[in-house]
Structure 1
Amino acid sequence: MSIDAGLADWVAEAMAPVGTVTRKRLFGGAALYCDGLTFAIIAFDALWFKADAQSAAAWDAIDAPLFTVTRDNGRVQSLPYRRAPDDVYDDPEALRDWAMLALEAARRAPPRLARRRSKRAARG
């Protein structure tokens, strides 16, 4: 899987009024950051926005699928990202509207270090 650099550039351009978008390679795709917060990923030739329980109703209202991947062992893994609606690919205002929802979810997410500690504690 390769990253669609044109899509990443489009997101960065459309998000310029909000903040600086950077990217980092991730599982053959890319993670997108706005001013340091992970708010989206590009994978499987699509844009996926970060979601959480508070934003689920908005994503469900447009039937946005959850990001899932099937591992080599057949196990299906999901990540808290929802597929962006089609209009974000050519409408910068629509992209920003959905991206803001994703940024809010990113702000609510616990810091990565805290997530690791809580997973270790749960394992015992």
Structure 2
Amino acid sequence: MAVSADYREYVLEQMGRVAPVSGRAMFGGVGIYSDGFFFALMDDGAVYLKVDDTNRAMFVDAGMSQFDPFGDGQQVMKYYELPADLLESPDLLRPWMDAALDVARRARKGKKKK
């Protein structure tokens, strides 16, 4: 994972037009949080949003790939790449971010029940 300072600043600024966000360094990449929920990450010039069965089709229909941190297909994560052009428009980005935040909220509730 590697994220340039310029890319990090750009992504956080663009996402910040939709909702308050912050980034934290994470294994060379950046974890993205909103209201305390980890819902996205940056890696190698791409943004990945958290998915489950409720929003996965958005990404699959757009032809986006699942986050595979080691590139081996063995350890894919529940994050899919965000179409890069969506970062240019808060109106287009909003439903994708909202859906990923909803996934993060549900995931946290599920962990508390155990």
Q: Is the structural similarity TM-score above 0.5?
A: yes
By how many angstroms is 1:79 displaced?
0.9
Q: CA deviation at 1:17?
A: 5.1
Which residues of structure 1 form unaligned runs of 5+? 119-124
Higher strand share: 1
Relative to the length of structure 1, the TM-score reads 0.75
Quick one: structure 1 residues 5 and 95, their matched pair in 2 at CA, closer, same or farther if it must change by over 3 Å? farther
Structure 1 residues 10, 90: CA separation in 2 closer, same or farther (over 3 Å shift)? same
Higher RCO (CA < 8 A, seq sep 6+): 2
Q: Which residue of 2 aligns with 1:37?
A: 37
Aligned residues: 114
Give the AA of the match of 2:61.
A
Q: Please report how far the alpha carbon of residue 59 of structure 1 lies from its aligned counterpart in structure 2 after TM superposition.
A: 1.6
- Does 2:97 align with 1:103? no
**Within the alignment, does 1:94 sit opposite 2:53 as a pair?**
no
Alignment-derived partner of residue 78 in structure 2:
80
User: What do residues 45-70 of structure 1 show as CA deviations (whole Å, max 9, x unaligned)?
Assistant: 11111111211122221121110122
Distance 1:103 1:23, change over 3 A: same
For the pair shown, which has the larger CA radius of gyration, 1 or 2? Answer: 1
Question: How far did 1:8 drift?
Answer: 2.9
Structure 1 residues 101 and 62, CA gap change in structure 2 (3 angstroms): same
For structure 2, the residue ranges without an aligned partner over 5 or more in a row are none
Match of 1:122 in 2: none
Q: Cα distance 1:40–1:75, how it changes in 2: closer, same or farther (>3 A)?
A: closer
TM-score (norm 2): 0.80
Aligned residues: percent identity? 30
Q: Which residue of 1 aligns with 2:6?
A: 6
